[in-house]
Structure 1
Amino acid sequence: MTDTPPRLTHLRDDGSAHMVDVTDKQVTKRTASAQAVLTSRPEVVSAILDGTLPKGEAIGTARIAGIMAAKQTSTLIPLCHPLPLTKLDVDITAEGERVRVVATVTTKGVTGVEMEALTAASVAALTLYDMIKAVDHHAVIGEIMVLAKAGGKSGDWSRA
């Protein structure tokens, strides 16, 4: 048995990048969830929650931004395939100094939606930052990660 390292599908044998051919892949239901976390001061997080920021209501604005971003993923990330998204949820919760954005994206297609979920969560968090930067220049966005995926040839996966 040989221990061959996994091959990156976006690289040709010569090392150049290309868009993966998904022509012959099976259409299946595919779902992915991803998160991004904004950390700020507790009073700023409270203002996010109660809608009293100088720029206005941040949660609804961030949710719409995340949805719009997921739909534009293939124009933002060079080798992503354009996908018909069939469901997209952006949930924003907060506690203490943390605002957690979780995006869940679903499609019926030939490739997964991890990048769409990551894009939605990231842009929603960026929008929250934009909404609070006047009151907290030190806010931080982090913990951007895929939480789970389902469907497709590689099967289901969930972060422990």
Structure 2
Amino acid sequence: MKLTHINEKGNPKIVNISDKPLTKRVAVAMGEIELSPSTKRLILEGKTKKGAVLQTAIVGGVMGGKRSWEIVPMCHPIPIDGIEIEIEEIEKGFRVIAGAVTTWKTGIEIEAITAVSTTLLTIYDMAKAVERGMVITNIQLLYKSGGKSGVFIKEEWKREIEGILKKL
């Protein structure tokens, strides 16, 4: 398999997408943060020193998704038509699911993954005063559609994928 971001001399390059057609592209990603029950309770009750953790994390996630091209070296700057982020309470902490959509020449998977990552990092940042041992884990792509490679889906997450897709 040939890597598209490596030229014939083995040096990195950004792929030329100028001749690719515009198509609707959608991606959904997820990740989790594990933290103690007491930290989770403080977050849910809005009693951390930094304020509304989950709401701020959603804003941070949207901002991160929009700026993916600035931190991932070979990521194209693309117009983002929408980002939707959900945070749900799970036994060990919180799960973040993010969906992103564009009509453009290249995929939006990195933007969805970056939105998840930035949401999780914001939770960590806002709660680190009460707990430093939080673990960010399980960041992964769940779904993508559009482009010549077609659809990718992790079937075991179909319900969550469909939920976020309805909101995009």
Question: How high is the TM-score relative to the length of structure 1?
Answer: 0.93
Structure-2 residue corresponding to 1:3: none
Correspondent of 2:121 among 109, 126, 147: 126
Paired residue for 2:82? 87
Deviation at 1:41, TM superposition (A): 0.7
Which residue number in structure 2 is paired with residue 114 of structure 1? 109
1:61 aligns with 2:56: yes
Distance (whole Å) between structure 2 residues aligned to residue 85 and residue 50 of structure 1: 33
What is the CA–CA distance in structure 1 between the aligned matches of 2:120 and 2:16, rounded to whole Å?
A: 32
Structure 2 equivalent of residue 28 of structure 1: 23
How far off its partner does 1:94 sit?
Answer: 0.9
Q: Which runs of 5+ in 2 are unaligned?
A: 156-168
Choose which of 113, 116, 130 in structure 2 pairs with 1:135.
Answer: 130
2:59 is equivalent to residue 70 of structure 1: no
- Counterpart of 1:125, as a letter, is L
One-letter identity of the residue aligned with 1:136: E
- What is the rounded CA distance, in whole Å, between the counterparts of 2:131 and 2:91 in structure 1? 15
Q: Which has the higher helix share?
A: 2
**1:46 paired residue number:** 41
TM-superposed deviation, 1:49: 2.1
- Structural RMSD (CA): 1.0
Identity of aligned residues (%): 38
Number of paired residues?
Answer: 155
Deviation (angstroms), 1:134: 1.0
TM value normalised by structure 2: 0.89
Partner Cα separation in structure 2 for residue 150 and residue 46 of structure 1: 37
Deviation at 1:26, TM superposition (A): 1.4
1:98 positional shift = 2.2
SS of match in other structure, 2:81: strand
Runs of 4 or more, structure 1, over 3 Å off, are none
Q: Which blocks of at least 5 consecutive residues in structure 1 are unaligned?
A: 1-5
User: Which one is further off, 49-58 or 149-158?
Assistant: 49-58
